[in-house]
């Protein structure tokens, strides 16, 4: 699976491939080894380059070494167990000629681990666990706190709940969690941050729609849309539906939700059904207005546009290694096209909320500023929650960008 990511495939696709094979390895073990290795991908690659005297032409062998180094550094297993099982794995993978090499490299690491850091310190990918271009882009955009952003991107993500205000008061649900021994604290109108992540099956009322799992940063959307009863609202890139559901929980609006992907749209429908919510769903590319719009304008539009997802990279540790610097201008072009199209469907005096889960200004401030500059009836207005437009990832939430744009009558 890690070798697949190194060759350009997404980890989600690799999990689907393994699921189709009905592998017996527990999913939790796969998540630990794949996510753990990819969170340290720059480091484990640098260690192998430092200790190896041969070219790594075999991608599966290289991935075995990377995973083994993660296992050794995790401290969760005895050193001799990791080395022994890595050598045995070499046999299972039919890498018989490499068994001695695997054993020698891992034992060299154990002997020299104290000096390894000094030997790879000059490599930014090994130090910061992000691609070099990513490190340089953040250093340029956030000279005061770029290292903190990178550090947050390597952490385990927080688990935040959104309490369905149509079914429960947040204080009552917090007390219900406490009665079950689950520690949570309120960090927003509907948001409870768990002390530690749990399977959703452990959360009382989940199947009944009392709550959803949604990052606190993502929960800003419903607040920042400036909703009111009876408004016509469009969620233009809606799946998997967390923001759509929160909009419907917040106000009695007429919601239309679009997504171009049929499987993701089906997931959105299931989420709304669990929460006993209703919306008008359509599979469509939001930029192709003739395919889905009947000409009646919307009072509010949520444009949660496709982006690099750099603000949620810690949830998808393969993502930062799959992205390339040239992806940013490509995303910006797509984002601009979405804004230009959706603006036509917005009513005079209406408001459009532009959202990304990115921390790169090229997808955020620069896109919005360029749009307002070329659109005569567009003006930026303050966000209703009074917070900054750019949220950077930290211990409580992921990285999100929000900009509210009003259409002058």
Residues with Cβ within 8 Å of 123's Cβ and at least 6 positions away in sequence, in order, are: 42, 46
Residues with Cβ within 8 Å of 15's Cβ and at least 6 positions away in sequence, in order, are: 1, 27, 30
**String of DSSP letters for 85-150:** HHHHHHHHTT-GGGHHHHHHHHHHHHHHHHHHHHHHTT-HHHHHSS-HHHHHHHHHH-TTTHHHHH
| Nearest one of 199, 157, 117 to 319, comparing CA atoms | 157
The owner of tokens 């941050």 is 193
- H or E segment to which residue 234 belongs: strand 232-235
What are the b/e assignments for 226-250, b being 16+ CB within 10 Å? bbeeebbbbbbbbbbbbbbbbbbbb
Distance CA 370, CA 379 (A): 12
Specify which residues 390 forms β-bridges with: 401
Long-range contacts, stretch 362-367, CB < 8 angstroms, 24+ apart: 362/328, 362/329, 362/331, 362/332, 363/307, 363/308, 363/328, 363/331, 363/332, 363/335, 363/401, 364/389, 364/390, 364/401, 364/403, 365/389, 365/390, 365/401, 365/403, 366/332, 367/332, 367/335, 367/336, 367/339
Residues with Cβ within 8 Å of 196's Cβ and at least 6 positions away in sequence, in order, are: 159, 183
Instruction: Based on the residue annotation, tell me whether 357 is a catalytic residue of this protein.
Output: yes
φ, ψ of residue 282 in degrees (nearest 5): -150, 140
Residues with Cβ within 8 Å of 21's Cβ and at least 6 positions away in sequence, in order, are: none
Long-range contacts, stretch 201-204, CB < 8 angstroms, 24+ apart: 203/161, 203/177, 204/176, 204/177, 204/180
Distance CA 10, CA 20 (A): 16
Q: Which residues are catalytic?
A: 357
């Amino acid at each position: 699976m890690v070798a697949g990511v190194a060759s350009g495939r997404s980890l989600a696709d690799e999990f689907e491939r393994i699921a189709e094979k009905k592998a017996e390895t527990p999913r939790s073990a796969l998540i630990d080894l794949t996510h753990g290795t990819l969170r340290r991908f720059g480091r484990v690659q640098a260690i192998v380059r430092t200790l190896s005297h041969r070219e790594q032409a075999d991608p599966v062998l290289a991935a075995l070494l990377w995973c083994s180094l993660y296992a050794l550094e995790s401290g969760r297993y005895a050193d001799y167990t990791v080395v022994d099982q890595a050598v045995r794995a070499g046999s299972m993978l039919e890498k018989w000629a490499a068994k001695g090499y695997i054993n020698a490299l891992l034992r060299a690491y154990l002997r020299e681990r104290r000096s390894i850091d000094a030997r790879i310190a000059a490599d930014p990918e090994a130090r910061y666990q992000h691609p070099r271009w990513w490190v340089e882009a953040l250093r340029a955009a956030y000279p005061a706190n770029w290292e903190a952003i990178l550090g947050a991107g390597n952490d385990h993500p927080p688990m935040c709940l959104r309490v369905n205000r149509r079914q429960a008061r947040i204080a009552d649900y917090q007390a219900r969690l406490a009665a079950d021994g689950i520690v949570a604290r309120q960090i927003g109108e509907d948001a409870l941050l768990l002390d530690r992540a749990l399977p959703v099956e452990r959360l009382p009322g989940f199947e009944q729609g009392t709550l959803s799992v949604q990052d606190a940063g993502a929960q800003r959307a419903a607040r920042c849309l400036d909703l009111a009863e009876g408004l016509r609202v469009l969620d233009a890139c809606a799946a998997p539906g967390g923001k759509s559901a929160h909009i419907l929980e917040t106000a009695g609006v007429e919601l239309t939700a679009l997504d171009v992907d049929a499987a993701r749209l089906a997931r959105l429908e299931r989420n709304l059904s669990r929460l006993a919510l209703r919306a008008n769903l359509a599979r469509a590319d939001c930029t192709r207005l003739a395919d889905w719009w009947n000409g009646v304008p919307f009072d509010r539009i949520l444009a949660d546009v496709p982006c690099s997802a750099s603000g949620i990279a810690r949830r998808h540790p393969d993502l930062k290694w799959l992205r390339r610097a040239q992806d940013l201008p490509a995303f910006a072009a797509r984002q601009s096209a979405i804004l230009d199209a959706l603006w036509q469907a917005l009513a005079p005096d209406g408001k459009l909320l532009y959202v990304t889960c990115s921390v790169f200004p090229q997808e955020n401030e620069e896109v919005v500023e360029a749009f307002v500059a070329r659109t005569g009836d567009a003006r930026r207005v303050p966000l209703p929650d009074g917070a900054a437009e750019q949220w950077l990832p930290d211990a409580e939430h992921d990285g999100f960008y929000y900009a509210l744009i009003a259409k002058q009558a």
